[in-house]
Amino acid sequence: MATAEKKKKFRGVVYVAPERCKGCAICVEFCPTGAITMSDRFNSKGYHYPEFTYPDKCTGCGLCGMYCPDFAIYGFREKIGEGA
């Protein structure tokens, strides 16, 4: 029940700065819910970067942003209805 309630109130949001990314995929690996995946596309330096593929799975725990060595991704929890 608690989970159901939370789901109503919050959602996870992830932003990516593709040009800062060096493609290490640590964010993808340590995302506890599998909400992000590596894109097929390349940034200008030739790295694949992550995409926020499954927003529904994201809890907004922010671990991707904690791990990213390049400050290229940031995840957080947002109140539903607030807008990004």
Partner 1 sequence: MSVVEGIKENPVEEFLRTDRLPHVWCSGCGIGTTVNCFARAVKECGIPLNDLAIVSGIGCTGRVAGYLRLDSFHTTHGRAIAFATGLHLANPELKVVVYSGDGDLVGIGGNHFIHAARRNLDITVILINNFTYAMTGGQVTPTAPLDSIETTTPYGVFEQNFNLPHLAASCGAVYVARWTAYHVMQVKKAMVEALNKKGFSFIEIIAPCPTIYLRRNRLGSAIDELKYYKEHSVIQHGADTRDVGIDIRRPEKIIVGKFVDIEKPDYLTAMNEHLGEVLGDKYVRWGE
Q: Which residues bind partner 1 (CB under 8 A)?
A: 13, 15-20, 22-26, 29-30, 45, 47, 63, 65-74, 76, 84
Tell me 4's DSSP state.
H
18 vs 59, beta carbon nearer ligand SF4: 18
User: Which residues of this chain interact with ligand SF4, rule CB under 6 A?
Assistant: 21-27, 49-50, 67-68, 70, 72-73
3-state SS of 32-53 is CCCCCEEEEEECCCCCEEEECC
- By beta-carbon proximity to ligand SF4, the closer residue of 27 and 58 is 27
Burial level of 22, CB count in 10 A (0-12/13-18/19+)? middle
Q: What is the nearest approach in angstroms of partner 1 to the Cβ of residue 1?
A: 27
